[in-house]
Amino acid sequence: MKEKLEKYAELLLTKGVNVKRGTPLLISAPIEAYEFVEILSKKAFEKGVTDIGYDLIDEKIKHDALKYLEINDLKESPIFNKKIFDEYAKKDAAFLMLMSDDPTLMDDIDSSKLSQAAIFSRKSKPLYKQRQLNNEIVWCIACTATKGRAEKMFDNTEDAINKLWDAIFDACYINNKNPNEAWDTFIEETNKKTEILNKLKIKELHYTNNLGTNLIINLLETSIWNGASEKTKSGVEFIANIPTQEVFTTPNRLGTNGIVYSSKPLIYNGGFINDFFIEFKDGKVINYDAKEGKDILKGIIESDENACYLGEVALVDYNSPISTSKLIHYETLYDENASCHLALGSGFTECVKGTDNKSKEELISLGFNYSDNHVDFMIGTEDLNIMAKTFDGKEVQIFKDGNFYC
């Protein structure tokens, strides 16, 4: 186990955030993952990183704060005030965020508190969010194994933690002889997909499946498809999500019409949302419902004036490795890479030409959605079909029976 944890740490530091000697680093993680954080820190020091900041989160303390404090008190609580992100954004730091929320821990917390706490957290780090949006900093989101999520995934079995670690290692190619080489091969394959999609110059995507999804999403003439590997404006290469199986772009904020049904549960700030649909007209959410977590979904959609528009379209094969494992991870980072997904909220400036150094108002005028929020939700199924219309009038099927077809 220790050898694999060290390989995983090496992958996150080299391929994920690509740290060099002297690169400041901020690690955000559940406090339960402190042993892995120690491994990460040692490897970072070995690489010449001298300035490491830590944002360690105790989910049980976070739960009790949400349960007993008033909403206005949460704003000043260090649990939700993430000013350390802005401190490190000033230093051109790399940001490594390790996720692993307990999917059921927040079940007894009022959904309005969950939503408000998430808003407080985002607004406490405006410089970080702005520099991330402008593609000026290196960042990577990954996962660690924690007891609550492991027991939810593996029915409280005695070795649930080890099973979750094994699932993480499989998804991140850690079980390969050389994980970094495996990632290089995967990035090359992903680049071929983005090249095909960008050459098509897609104007419109039409999604249909037997859940009832019938959704048309318009792209911009300036939309760009991206994949696993990204580069900052200064040319530093990084992988924002480990693992990842997606190719993605940013759509026209006013160009979505129809209805889409979720295919997997969504965990948002510890809250659970399941079996939901969202209906759009002229880009905006006009109707929604959920069998579980409707109030939490409402909080996402109403979190700011533009959270009710789409900011991302992502394509993932139904036969992706995470999907074929048949595991539900109850963690968006993993579940979104087992399924085509969309995101409510902000788009990605690196996915739209001509967005450099633009103000919020200028971005919106270009058809780009600007929001303080960005929440992915999963819509892919084994019978999902996606027809594309190009700007020169051609029709091309790009997804058939859940997988890439073009």
Position 406 pLDDT exceeds 80: no
**121 in the same domain as 27:** yes
Q: Prior bond to 243 cis, omega within 30?
A: yes
Q: Which of 153, 171, 189 is the last residue of a domain?
A: 171
pLDDT of residue 15: 96
pLDDT at 22 (0 to 100): 95
pLDDT digits 0-9 by tens, 207-243: 999 999 999 999 999 999 999 899 998 999 999 999 9
Do 157 and 202 have their domain in common? no
* Residue 80 and residue 35 share a domain: yes
* 75 pLDDT more than 90: no
- Give the pLDDT score at 157: 79
CA nearest to 144, candidates 59, 254, 31 = 31
Overall average pLDDT of the 13-26 stretch: 97
Rounded distance between C-alpha atoms, residue 36 and residue 29, angstroms:
9
Task: Give the mean model confidence (pLDDT) for residues 347-356.
Answer: 92
Confidence label for 151 from pLDDT (cuts 50, 70 and 90): very high
The answer to whether 148 touches 103, Cβ cutoff 8 Å, is yes
Burial of 199 (0-12, 13-18, 19+ CB in 10 A): exposed
User: Has residue 59 been placed in a domain?
Assistant: yes
Q: How many domains does the chain have?
A: 2
Are residues 106 and 189 located together in one domain of the fold? Answer: no
Mean pLDDT taken over the chain: 94
Q: What is the 3-state secondary structure (H, E, C) of 139-169?
A: EEEEECCCHHHHHHHCCCCCCHHHHHHHHHH
The predicted-structure confidence for 76-97, as pLDDT tens digits, reads as follows 888 888 999 999 999 999 999 9
Structural domain boundaries enclosing 208: 179-227+242-404
Q: For the segment 260-283, what is each residue's pLDDT rounded down to a tens digit? A: 999 999 999 888 999 999 999 999
**Beta-strand pair 214-219/202-208:** antiparallel
Confidence band of 170 (pLDDT split at 50, 70, 90): very high
Q: Please check whether residues 325 and 261 belong to one and the same domain.
A: yes
How far is C-alpha 140 from the chain's CA centre?
10
| One domain, residues 124 and 190 | no
Whether residue 234 is contained in a domain is answered as: no
Within a domain: 232 = no
